[in-house]
């Protein structure tokens, strides 16, 4: 009986051991087979590449891109006893007011975005703060009510987008243009809308984001070894301009003053190196803040130097005369009866501001005689006139560096065979141009008959700081060198004796031609004017083509009193900034003989 009970006890004991062992094996099997959230052995780190900068000729960053970050927390994980400490520290590191932070945390529970626009440098400090907050256990472990897992979620600083910054506010607008914001996968970046920002969008935009991945250490940092992978960040190309900030600032300020003085709608000016086409200043009196465009700025968003197309008036007389001279159809000393400033062509009456009986052919340009140039122009065939205007660059785009250019128009060869069309076009009506086309055309008179394409962009700069130089456009011989030299001397005479006399500058070679033209509104010419002065300013080493246009000045309708003073002020600035060096010979002082 005792042996039987003993056997039962042993059997029961072994049964319990067997069942326990079976349960242990089952648990081990389930644990082995069950999917578990094991921390990854690998880590991945990404960083967004950014848009390239626009840099001035003297090395100043006019347009740059900065990364923006957002700060995110989950209030559920903040230790209530240390909430006040968190708020105080975050306020110090972020610059956000304490009361603003408390307000956000009281209104919203769970995930809260404390700021969307944290600059990159500040973000680095906040990342360090996030580490310190964890170390001081400001954030506590909590069990997720949905997953049932225990974790700690602290302060997260996340890349949220980028912002385009303009260090010099309105400087060089509207030439550099402006961008707009685009959102993609929760990340905000910018794209160009107008100006250089738009024209070179492909070059400026970011090329490749940075990516690093590999085995992680205990602190979740990537272990960089032969098994890790890194894809470098490739930012957009920087664009370096030919325009220096120092000169541009002075030119813009001058235009602001002249706009008030002349009571004009807008004043524009361009200064181009006649040797290589480098545009060293390109300015408008009407500018805007690229980041804060207001409704009142809408009319200023276009680059008037290429987008404002207008009838140029008498500045075209120089081109007409050069075509006649180049084909041997006129001699500068030919005498022309200008009929006391009144002449009929068909039903149209041509008049002059100043009345002369006779003028030499070259003095027709010097004194800007409409009658004289009309009579001379009749010697040109319509085909030659049309081809000549196109060769000089009218009705075609002036520069590859800007976008949305309005190329204007010239009458076709058949129209120019008509004496009235030919007459009006010869002195700048019935043809539409922009300022940059005039600059390109007049470059021929300061460059031995070759037109030069205006060049605003000097080079692109890649991530290795290597400059990728933009090659110069081919110069085009539009008139013979001898013709250009003769026209140049006539333009100098125009400044010394004629309508451009207020442009004279001692010690410099100055030449140019005035232009005044009625403005068309609602298909009719009205009593409003555009005035212009296109010419050149040279010293012994430097040569510049300069063009100024004044739109609707109320102070005076004459270019000699509006566009010419703008030109002269620009020349004075070039002298003061060292771009031109007048050749002035100081007269020896007369010795004092009173004591002898």
Q: What is the CATH number of the domain that holds 449?
A: 3.40.710.10
DSSP code of residue 429: S
Residue 9 lies in a domain: no
**Interior CA angle at 144 toward 141 and 147, to 5°?**
135
Helix (H) or strand (E) run with residue 70 in it? strand 61-74
- What confidence score (pLDDT) does residue 401 get? 95
Say if residue 466's pLDDT is above 50. Answer: yes
265-276 per-position pLDDT tens digit: 999 999 999 999
Dist. CA 181–CA 119, nearest whole Å: 17
For the domain that residue 125 is a member of, what is the CATH number? Answer: 3.30.70
Highest mean pLDDT among 83-92, 436-445, 463-472: 436-445
- What confidence score (pLDDT) does residue 595 get? 39
**Residue 477 CB burial class (10 angstroms; 0-12, 13-18, ≥19):** middle
Q: Name which residue leads in pLDDT, 437 or 187.
A: 437
Residue 235 lies in a domain: no
Residue 120 lies in a domain: yes
Last residue of a domain, one of 167, 191, 223: 167
Q: Which residues have CB under 8 Å from 572's CB, separation 6+? A: 505
Q: Are 501 and 561 in contact (CB under 8 A)?
A: no
CA distances in angstroms from 229 to 44, 214, 222, 326, 500, listed in the order given: 9, 6, 10, 67, 68
Reduce the DSSP state of residue 277 to 3 states and report it. Answer: coil
Residue 593 lies in a domain: no
- Confidence band, pLDDT 50/70/90 cuts, at residue 109: confident
Say if residue 457's pLDDT is above 80. Answer: yes
| E runs forming strands in 130-223 | 142-143, 150-151, 156-166, 179-184, 187-192, 210-215
Q: Are 157 and 254 in a shared domain?
A: no
Last residue of a domain, one of 167, 196, 217: 167
Q: Are 352 and 336 in contact (CB under 8 A)?
A: no
Domain ranges, residue 107: 66-167
325-339 per-position pLDDT tens digit: 999 999 999 999 999
- What confidence score (pLDDT) does residue 132 get? 84
Q: Let me know how long the chain is.
A: 596
497-523 per-position pLDDT tens digit: 999 999 999 999 999 999 999 998 888
Q: Are 465 and 569 in a shared domain?
A: yes
**Interior CA angle at 174 toward 204 and 561, to 5°?**
150
Q: Are 64 and 249 in contact (CB under 8 A)?
A: no
Q: Which residues have CB under 8 Å from 10's CB, separation 6+? A: none
Q: Which residues have CB under 8 Å from 25's CB, separation 6+? A: none
Q: Are 427 and 322 in a shared domain?
A: yes
Q: What residues are paired with 183 via a beta bridge?
A: 188
Q: Are 336 and 367 in contact (CB under 8 A)?
A: no
Residue 228 lies in a domain: no
Average pLDDT of span 391-401: 96
- What confidence score (pLDDT) does residue 596 get? 39
Q: Are 265 and 394 in a shared domain?
A: yes
- Confidence band, pLDDT 50/70/90 cuts, at residue 185: confident
Dist. CA 177–CA 402, nearest whole Å: 10
Domains in the chain, number: 2
Q: Are 289 and 438 in a shared domain?
A: yes
Q: Are 394 and 524 in a shared domain?
A: yes
Say which residue the tokens 């050749």 belong to: 583
Residue 591 lies in a domain: no
Among 41-55, 271-285, 348-362, the minimum mean pLDDT is found in 41-55
- What confidence score (pLDDT) does residue 588 get? 55
Q: Are 133 and 259 in a shared domain?
A: no
Q: Are 409 and 276 in a shared domain?
A: yes
Phi, psi torsion values for 429, nearest 5 degrees: -115, 155
Reduce the DSSP state of residue 95 to 3 states and report it. Answer: coil
Instruction: Give the predicted TM-score (pTM) of the model.
Output: 0.84
Say if residue 407's pLDDT is above 60. Answer: yes
Q: Are 254 and 395 in a shared domain?
A: yes
Q: Are 533 and 428 in a shared domain?
A: yes
Average pLDDT of span 111-134: 85
- Confidence band, pLDDT 50/70/90 cuts, at residue 213: low
DSSP string, 326-372: HTTS--TT-EEE-GGGEEEETTEEEE-SS--SEEEHHHHHHTT-HHH
Say if residue 346's pLDDT is above 90. Answer: no
Average pLDDT of span 355-381: 95
- What confidence score (pLDDT) does residue 593 get? 46
Last residue of a domain, one of 147, 167, 187: 167
- What confidence score (pLDDT) does residue 227 get? 63
Say which residue the tokens 């001379």 belong to: 376
């Amino acid at each position: 009986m005792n042996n039987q009970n003993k056997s039962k006890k042993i059997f029961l004991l072994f049964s319990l051991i067997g069942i326990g062992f079976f349960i242990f094996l089952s648990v081990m099997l389930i644990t082995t087979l069950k999917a578990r959230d094991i921390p990854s052995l690998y880590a991945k780190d990404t960083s967004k590449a950014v848009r390239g900068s626009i840099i001035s000729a003297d090395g100043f960053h006019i347009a740059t891109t900065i990364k923006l970050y957002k700060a995110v927390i989950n209030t559920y994980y903040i230790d209530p006893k240390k909430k006040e400490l968190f708020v105080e520290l975050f306020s110090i590191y972020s610059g956000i007011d304490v009361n603003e932070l408390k307000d956000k945390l009281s209104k919203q529970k769970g995930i809260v975005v404390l700021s969307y626009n944290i600059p990159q440098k500040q973000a680095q400090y906040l990342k360090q703060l996030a580490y310190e907050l964890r170390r001081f256990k400001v954030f506590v472990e909590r069990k997720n009510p949905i997953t049932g897992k225990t974790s700690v979620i602290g302060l997260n600083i996340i890349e949220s987008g980028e912002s385009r910054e303009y260090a010099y506010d309105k400087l060089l607008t509207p030439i550099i243009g402006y961008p707009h914001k685009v959102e993609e996968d929760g990340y905000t970046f910018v794209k160009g809308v107008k100006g250089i920002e738009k024209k070179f969008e492909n070059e400026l935009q970011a090329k490749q984001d940075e990516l690093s991945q590999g085995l992680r250490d205990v602190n979740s940092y990537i272990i960089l070894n032969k098994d890790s992978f890194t894809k470098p960040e490739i930012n957009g190309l920087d664009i370096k301009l030919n325009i220096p900030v120092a000169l541009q600032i002075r030119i813009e300020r001058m235009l602001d003053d002249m706009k008030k003085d002349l009571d004009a709608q807008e004043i524009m000016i361009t200064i181009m190196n006649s040797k290589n086409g480098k545009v060293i200043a390109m300015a408008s009196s009407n500018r805007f803040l690229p980041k804060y465009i207001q409704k009142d700025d809408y009319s200023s968003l276009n680059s008037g130097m290429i987008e404002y197309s207008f009838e140029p008036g008498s500045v075209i007389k120089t081109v007409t005369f050069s075509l006649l001279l180049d084909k041997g159809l006129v001699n500068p000393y030919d005498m022309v009866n200008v009929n006391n400033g009144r002449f009929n062509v068909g039903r149209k009456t041509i008049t002059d501001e100043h009345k002369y009986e006779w003028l030499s052919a070259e003095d027709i340009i010097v004194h800007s005689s409409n009658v004289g140039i009309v009579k001379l122009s009749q010697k040109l065939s319509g085909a030659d006139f049309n081809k000549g205007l196109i060769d000089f660059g009218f009705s075609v785009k002036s520069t590859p560096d800007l976008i949305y250019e309005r190329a204007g128009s010239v009458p076709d060869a058949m129209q120019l065979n008509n004496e009235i069309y030919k007459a009006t076009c010869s002195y700048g009506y019935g043809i539409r141009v922009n300022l940059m086309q005039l600059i390109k055309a007049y470059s021929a008179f300061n460059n031995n008959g070759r037109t030069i394409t205006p060049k605003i962009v000097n080079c692109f700069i890649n991530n290795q700081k290597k400059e990728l130089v933009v090659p110069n456009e081919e110069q085009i011989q539009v008139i013979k060198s001898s013709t250009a030299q003769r026209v140049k001397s006539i333009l100098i005479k125009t400044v010394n004796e004629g309508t451009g006399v207020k442009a004279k500058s001692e010690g410099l070679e100055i030449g140019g031609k005035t232009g005044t033209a009625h403005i068309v509104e609602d298909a009719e010419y009205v009593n409003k004017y555009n005035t212009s002065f296109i010419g050149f300013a040279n010293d012994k080493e430097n040569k510049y083509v300069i063009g100024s246009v004044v739109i609707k000045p109320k102070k005076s309708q004459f270019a000699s009193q509006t566009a010419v003073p703008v030109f002269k002020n620009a020349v004075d600035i070039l002298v003061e900034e060292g771009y031109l060096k007048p050749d002035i010979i100081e007269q020896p002082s007369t010795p004092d003989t009173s004591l002898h």
